[in-house]
Amino acid sequence: MAKFMEGLRYSESHEYIRVEGEYGYIGISDYAQHALGNVVYVDMPDVDDEVTAGEEFGAVESVKAASDLISPVSGTVVEVNEALEDKPELLNEDAFANWIIKVQLSDPSELDALMDVEAYKEHCKE
Residue 23 pairs with which residues in a beta bridge?
20, 104
Tens-place pLDDT, residues 5-28? 999 999 999 999 999 999 999 999
Nearest CA to 28 out of 7, 53, 8 is that of: 8
Note whether residue 3 is domain-resident: no
CB 4 within 8 A of CB 30: yes
Report pTM: 0.97
Domain containing 24: what range? Answer: 9-112
In a domain, 1, yes or no: no
Domain contains 25: yes
Question: How many domains, in total, are found in the chain?
Answer: 1
CATH code at position 91: 2.40.50.100
Contact 77, 47 (CB under 8 A): yes
Residue 124 lies inside a defined structural domain of this protein: no
Judge whether residue 1 has pLDDT over 90. Answer: no
pLDDT in tens, 74-87: 999 999 999 999 99
The answer to whether residue 69 sits within a structural domain is yes
Q: Is 59 part of a structural domain of the chain?
A: yes
